[in-house]
């Protein structure tokens, strides 16, 4: 015995769909199932694709206070330092025209400069869920007095749920490299950050199960083949470059941004 649609339901449907649902032949039912599944998939997949296109070029600029984030933002946005800037207490957002090897524009990205003050760090956490990539700026000339602050903020970025899940790329931008006699080398800054992150990972792993789970996102001690953590071994791809926001030495940043230009 076959079942058919109740009259009250059939009256609410277009005639063609109602007839197909009342048809008990396997071929008709299979075809109808394919149509329904296709509609459901489109309803789910298309919004996701649209969302990815919308936020696929948002680049978040983060880092501790005084590292030169805002100066770097303006240098990338319009090639100006705005006569130098002070620590910003609000976000700066704008479109950046990304330049290729020969200086030609290859596309554009949206750059969001987030204040580095500890009291405003919750704003960074809110923006990371939409980031296609992160530029983390540190002061290569003044890294030692601020290594703990830099590592703490970088720890929060690298262990952010959305960053880990989507494996968001991160560029460690060692700013003020133009200060030849004062700026530390790229390798020195990188190793300093790695050692500090490694120490932080070990300490936080003993605080609570929640902290231990978060610290584990950076891997276990010894994963890098030694006592120190390696940025090359993290979930998110991490690269490092030297730059100078003040003098306009930002070619390496444009090369990074080119991967997200639209």
What are the pLDDT digits (tens) for 10-39? Answer: 555 566 555 655 655 566 556 666 666 766
Radius of gyration, CA atoms only, the chain: 25
Helix axes 186-204, 147-158, angle to 10 degrees: 70
Among 8-22, 112-126, 127-141, which is the least confidently predicted range?
8-22
Point out which residues pair with 172 in neighbouring strands: 136, 240
Task: Please give the Cα distance from 169 to 237 (Å, whole number).
Answer: 5
Task: Please give the Cα distance from 194 to 238 (Å, whole number).
Answer: 12
Residue 131: is its pLDDT beyond 90? yes
**Greatest mean pLDDT among 12-26, 36-50, 226-240:** 226-240
Could you tell me which residues come within 8 angstroms of residue 114 by beta carbon, excluding any fewer than 6 positions away?
60, 61, 62, 69, 91, 120, 123, 124, 127
Among 3.20.20.140, 3.40.50.300, 3.30.420.280, 3.10.150.10, name the CATH number for the domain at 57-260.
3.40.50.300
Query: What DSSP character marks residue 171?
Result: E
Residue 192: is its pLDDT beyond 90? yes
Quote the percentage of the chain above a pLDDT of 90.
53
């Amino acid at each position: 015995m076959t079942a058919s649609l109740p009259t009250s339901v059939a009256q609410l449907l277009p005639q063609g769909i109602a007839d197909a649902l009342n048809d008990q032949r396997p071929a008709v039912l299979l075809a109808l199932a394919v149509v329904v599944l296709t509609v459901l998939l489109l309803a789910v997949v298309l919004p996701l694709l649209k969302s990815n296109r919308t936020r696929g070029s948002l680049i978040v600029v983060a880092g501790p206070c005084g590292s030169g984030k805002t100066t770097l933002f303006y240098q990338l946005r319009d090639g100006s330092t705005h006569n130098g800037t002070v620590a910003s207490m609000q976000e700066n957002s704008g479109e950046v025209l990304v330049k290729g090897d020969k200086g030609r524009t290859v596309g554009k990205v949206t750059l969001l400069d987030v204040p580095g003050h500890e009291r405003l760090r919750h704003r960074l956490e809110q923006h990371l869920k939409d980031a296609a990539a992160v530029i983390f700026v540190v002061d290569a000339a003044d890294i030692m007095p601020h290594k703990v602050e830099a590592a703490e903020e970088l720890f929060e970025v690298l262990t952010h749920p959305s960053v880990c899940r989507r494996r968001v790329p991160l560029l460690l931008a060692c700013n003020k490299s133009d200060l030849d006699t004062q700026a530390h080398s790229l390798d020195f800054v990188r190793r300093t950050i790695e050692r500090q992150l490694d120490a932080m990972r070990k300490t936080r792993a003993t605080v609570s199960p929640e902290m231990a789970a978060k610290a584990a996102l950076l891997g276990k001690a010894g994963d890098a083949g030694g006592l120190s953590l390696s940025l090359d071994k993290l979930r998110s791809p991490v690269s490092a470059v030297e730059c100078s926001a003040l003098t306009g030495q930002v070619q390496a940043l444009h090369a990074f941004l080119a991967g997200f230009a639209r």
